[in-house]
Structures are given as C-alpha cells and as structure tokens.
Amino acid sequence: MARTYFSAFLLSILILVSTSYIPILSDQLDNQIEYESENASARTCSGPANTDSIVILPPGPVTLPADQSRLFNATLYNSAGTPLGGTPDWSVSEGSISPQGGSEAIYYPNLIGNHTVWACSAEVTASVQVIVTLGATQSINLSGNKENLSADEVLQLT
C-alpha cells in the first residue's frame, strides 16, 4: 500500500515540474517567432533564381515530441509548376536544423511550444508550423534518507 502512494507521489511531482515551465516558455516564444519571421521573409537565399514556389513536406502543423527529430523535404518549383533541382536554405525559429543534402533537412527541437521551420530559395520563402510537445522523461534521480518506511513515517526526497 505504501509503495502505491509513493509511486503516485513521484508521478504527481514529475507532472507538476514538467508542466510548470510551459506558460513561461510560450510567452518567450511569441516574441521570438515574430522576430524570426520578419528576418526570413526579407532575405534573398541561394538556390535557383527562377524559383517561384516551395512546397515543404510534411505540411504543417506538425506535432513533434521534444525528444525526437523530424525530417522535412522542400521541393522548389518554377512558374510553370515544374520541379527544380536546387537546394533550399533552411532556418528555424527555435532549435536547430541540419541540411541532409538535396532537398532534405532534419529539425531538432530544444524547447516546448510553437516553432517555425523555413525553406528559402532565391526570393521565395515557405514555412511549416511545428508544435513541440513534452517528450519522454530521460531520467529522474531521487534519493531518500531511509530504505524502509513504516506506514506512519515521512520520507524526505532530494
């Protein structure tokens, strides 16, 4: 019986700590995404000069746990709708993105919240919204001052 309460207690602490940071991060992200969006749309990128549009797959919004990465693929098109063979420039509002050669790149999140992945070629920019959610807990270490407890004892965890 004591183990059940102890497990429930640990789970409630983990949930409380995990969710206590979400409101703080979302306030910071709103300002940062707006700033990055202005920068991404005002620049000229490398890639074919005749790029007329870019399609990013998967299309947004994409939901991604914070402990995982996601492969994106951007196809560049000319005004006739013909795919071009160029490589876009990639950028993100938060986290990092690693071009894989050709039209692919892997996004690695580092904060929970709403983020943006951009692909840019010539003067054309396309974006996908990524919603980063809580990932799996990597580890939790708790230590107490006793090994065995009776039903009426209290254990302090550090």
Residue pLDDT tens, the chain, 158 long:
555 555 555 555 555 445 544 444 444 444 333 333 333 445 678 889 999 999 999 998 999 999 999 999 999 999 999 999 889 999 999 999 999 988 999 999 999 999 999 999 999 999 999 999 998 887 888 877 767 778 888 877 77
Burial track 87-101 (b if 16+ CB lie within 10 A, e otherwise): bbbbbbbbbebeeee
How far is the C-alpha of 122 from the C-alpha of 154, rounded, in Å?
Answer: 65
Q: Which CATH class name applies to 23-133?
A: mainly beta
Q: Which two tokens stand for residue 150?
A: 């009776």
Domain spans in the chain, listed from the N-terminal domain onward: 23-133
Which pTM was predicted?
0.63
